[in-house]
Amino acid sequence: MTAVFGVDIGGSGIKGAPVDLGRGELTQERYKVLTPQPSAPGAVVAAVCEVVRQFDHQGPVGLTFPGVVVNGHTRTAANVDKGWIGLDAEGLFREALGLPATVLNDADAAGYAETVHGAGRDQGGVVLVLTFGTGIGSALFVDGTLVPNTELGHLELRGKDAERRASSAAKERHGLTWEEWAVRVDEYLDAVEMLFSPQLVVIGGGVSRKHEKFLPLLRAREARIVPAELRNDAGIVGAAMAAARASG
Ligand code: BGC
pLDDT single digits (tens) 20-44: 999 999 999 999 999 999 999 999 9
- Pick the residue whose CA is nearest to atom 12 on ligand 1: 66
Report the pLDDT value the prediction gives residue 3, as an integer from 0 to 100.
81
The rounded distance, in Å, linking the Cα atoms of 15 and 5 is 11
pLDDT of 69 over the 70 cut:
yes
Residue 226: φ, ψ to 5°: -130, 155
Atom 5 of ligand 1, nearest CA residue:
137
Given strand 145-147, what is the order of strands in its sheet? 145-147, 136-142, 126-132, 200-204, 224-227
Name which of 220, 184, 183, 217 is nearest 201 in CA terms. Answer: 220
137 CB within 6 A, ligand 1: yes
For residues 13 and 62, state if they share a domain. Answer: yes
pLDDT per residue as tens digits for the range 167-213 = 999 999 999 999 999 999 999 999 999 999 999 999 999 999 999 99
Ligand 1 centroid–CA 235 distance in Å is 13
Range of the domain at 100: 4-108+234-246
Do both 203 and 241 map to the same domain?
no
According to the model, what pLDDT value does residue 1 have? 53
Handedness of CA 192, 151, 100, 110 (dihedral sign): negative
In a domain, 117, yes or no: no
3-class DSSP state for residue 132? strand
Rounded distance, CA 45 to CA 34, Å?
13
CA of 141 to the centre of ligand 1 (A): 17
> How far does residue 156's CA lie from ligand 1's centre (Å)?
14
224 and 126 in one domain?
A: yes
Report which protein residue has its CA nearest ligand 1's atom 2.
67
51-61 pLDDT, tens per residue? 999 999 999 99
Nearest alpha-carbon partner for 24 in 233, 213, 225, 174: 233
Q: Does 66 lie in the same domain as 19?
A: yes
Cα of 78 vs centre of ligand 1, distance in Å, is 7
User: What is the distance, to the nearest Å, from the Cα of residue 193 to the centroid of all Cα atoms in its chain?
Assistant: 20
Type of residue at 231: R
Residue closest via CA to ligand 1's atom 10 equals 137
Spell out the long-range contacts of 27-30 with Cβ–Cβ below 8 A and sequence spacing 24 or more: 27/3, 28/55, 30/233, 30/236
10 C-beta closer than 6 A to ligand 1 = no
Asked if the structure places residue 114 within a domain, the reply is: no
Centre of ligand 1 to C-alpha 165, Å, is 14
| CB-ligand 1 contact for 232 (6 Å cutoff) | no
Residues 129 and 66 in one domain: no
